[in-house]
A and B are shown apart, each in its own frame.
Chain A
Amino acid sequence: MEELANLFHGFAVALQPFNIMVMILGIVLGVVIGVLPGLGGANGVAILLPLTFSMSPTSAIIMLSCIYWGALFGGAITSILFNIPGEPWSVATTFDGYPMAQQGKAGEALTAAFTSSFVGALFAVIMITLVAPLVASFALQFGPAEKFAVYFLAFCSFVGLSKEPPFKTIAAMMIGFALAAVGLDSITGQLRLTFGVTELLNGFDFLIAVIGLFGIGEILLTMEEGLAFRGGNAKINLRVVLQTWKELPAYWMTSLRSCLIGCWMGITPAGATPASFMSYGIAKRVAKRGNNFGKGEIEGVVAPETAAHAAGTAALLPMLSLGVPGSPTAAVLLGGLLIWGLQPGPMLFVEQKEFVWGLIASMYLGNLVGLIVVLTCVPIFAAILRVPFSIIAPLILVLCAIGAYSVHSSTFDVVLMLVFGVLGYLLKKCNYPLAPLVLAIVLGDKAEEAFRQSLLGSQGSLGVFFSNALVSSIMILGLIALFWTAIQEGYTRLRTRLA
């Protein structure tokens, strides 16, 4: 087992005192970045990248990847406490995480989220350690048609889940698609739906929409109901961690499924966002208490978090072995590798053994260190909810404004954020589901792009989506997921009629 020997050597590298220090610093910085909306993993890593130029490449990548883990952990905190997802893949975490916090179970939700993240990441790292070369060649199978099929599957496994009237769901999702289409059309290089307004050149960023719709909208709803966060009675001691851990093993099936979905999405590389939505959608259908999803079910936190982090970790594999980033943050890390004179690609695993295995070892250790750091802070995070609303609300509003501004350094975006906030309040009161809208903003333009790239390649023939075994099977999975509710309903109806 040459790999194992290399791995142990990697541990020796990662366990040097300087590297451990760098690791802890990276995790803490990452959590801060993840908590502040607008900074996010990709921006945070990009901002801190130049600081690492004076380190050795191995220390530098350990620090940057730890920032990445920290940001992944940190993203869950605001999703659960304030309904503000800082990253696209944290959106699905809000569905059950925020209701849990409102019921005074913020500590449980945070523990479940952090632990699931760790499990997902660990699973993905083990996979990277054992089957790296094999997996890399799988990623090469994915052209535009296969990518579209994956997005199709993500949409299908998610729509039809909401209990809201179907035409409201459709309207909400279409609003999302329309917003995603604004700006530059990447296929024709032409502007669309901008009406000559230069501020609309960048289109509608997911983060601004989500800070407004979810975060500000939620504050407005709270104002309407009288000035109080309903999570004030959250337990704030470390025992909550142990109690939650006792519950978690019951969801091993969900965890395993989410790990697999996450690894698959990370490698292809469709990324963590479709992984989290897909995993949540499937868990809701399959779980015993699936009908209770959205009302504060712990399994609804486990599923998306596990998948998102498995995907986030697995996304580093195609980056290292192929030089194609599986996520925006991986893209920045890739830039870092090139600046240090390391060329990601097939030769990296052969020529830069110390670096690669040091990085993989730091994935194990960094995640472990990260888990310990964030878990010990659970009581502190949960205690934030005890701060009176009239203090915390203006601070959240200011942080939201900063977050919205720092996405594109534009004050126009801050105005948009407020508009989305009022919109979120109105839509929610009128029973329009917000999740499909956000899903469409996040994945809409990517799905359209992949669709049109495929058609360009096939010269207009739709047959391309069923042209080989891989793409056909993903498309069929998608169709099954789409009609799952109908199939189930038909089945129950049939049974009641017969009974």
Chain B
Amino acid sequence: MTTNGPGAGPMHKTVEAGVTLAIALFGVIVIIGSVKAGINWGAEGPRAGFFPFYVGITIVLASAINLRNALREHDRGLFAEWGQLRQVMSVVVPTAIYVGAMPFTGLYLASMIFIAWFMRWLGKYNWLTVAAIAIGMPVVTYFIFERWFLVPLPKGPVEEWLGL
């Protein structure tokens, strides 16, 4: 983004090339899947894979052009500084753990820990505030979703034990 910052970081060009390649790869997967589903024009009009096939081809072609444009650019700017990326990862990693733990711990317990971690670690709030919000929000959620709207959310052993 900005070049005048003090820190170092990955080049914008490199990241953009990576993203473009990933999109192209996605295009290839789409093409393979379409071929499996049948891409020709059957007796009843186009078959299931007809449209996705051309969509996949277009993705690959557009990515090729985007890649060429990205590599040609003389922009020596940074994608982001390492410090900024660390900030981003400090959300992505815990969220990934949160999401990954949800099927086992249930939503409520995972949410409590996640909110508490976030507030304590990044916000440096005192434990009382942290506890009030981290426990209060899932409890309110429980009543709104499970009791009023009757939408069951994932539950784990704790909820089972409480008989909820």
Given a CB threshold of 8 Å, the question of whether A touches B is answered with yes
Instruction: Give the nearest-CB partner of A219 in chain B.
Output: B91
In the complex the two chains form, is B48's CB within 8 Å of A390's CB? no
In the complex the two chains form, is B115's CB within 8 Å of A195's CB? no
Selected from B47, B59, B95, the residue in CB contact (under 8 A) with A174 is B59
A264: interface (CB < 8 Å): no
Q: Which A153-206 residues have C-beta < 8 A from chain B?
A: 165, 167-168, 170-171, 174-175, 177-178, 181, 185, 187-188, 190-195
Dominant SS among interface residues on chain B: helix
Given A192-B34, A224-B80; A171-B66 close (CB under 8 Å): yes
Task: Please name all residues of chain A whose beta carbon is closer than 8 Å to the beta carbon of B87 when the two chains form the complex.
Answer: 223-224, 226-227
A-B contacts counted at CB < 8 A amount to: 181
Given A39-B151, A193-B52, A397-B95; A170-B115 close (CB under 8 Å): no
Docked Cα-Cα span, A191 to B141, in Å, equals 36
A32: interface (CB < 8 Å): yes
B135: interface (CB < 8 Å): no
A418: interface (CB < 8 Å): yes
CB distance from A254 to the nearest CB of B (A): 33
Docked Cα-Cα span, A152 to B30, in Å, equals 23
B96: interface (CB < 8 Å): yes
In the complex the two chains form, is B30's CB within 8 Å of A171's CB? no
Task: Please name all residues of chain B whose beta carbon is closer than 8 Å to the beta carbon of A171 when the two chains form the complex.
Answer: 23, 58-59, 62-63, 66
Number of interface residues of B (CB under 8 A): 70
In the complex the two chains form, is B103's CB within 8 Å of A406's CB? no
Docked Cα-Cα span, A188 to B45, in Å, equals 10
Docked Cα-Cα span, A48 to B148, in Å, equals 9
Task: Please name all residues of chain A whose beta carbon is closer than 8 Å to the beta carbon of B41 when the two chains form the complex.
Answer: 460
Q: Name 13 interchain pairs, CB-CB below 8 A, sorted by A.
A: A32-B144, A165-B69, A178-B59, A188-B48, A224-B88, A227-B87, A397-B98, A401-B102, A402-B153, A429-B1, A448-B51, A456-B44, A456-B45
B interface residues (Cβ-Cβ under 8 A, vs A): 1, 15-16, 19-20, 23, 26-27, 30, 33-34, 36-38, 41, 44-49, 51-52, 55-56, 58-59, 62-63, 65-66, 69, 79-80, 84-85, 87-88, 90-92, 95-96, 98-100, 102-103, 107, 111, 114-115, 117-119, 122-123, 125, 133, 137-138, 141, 144-145, 149-154
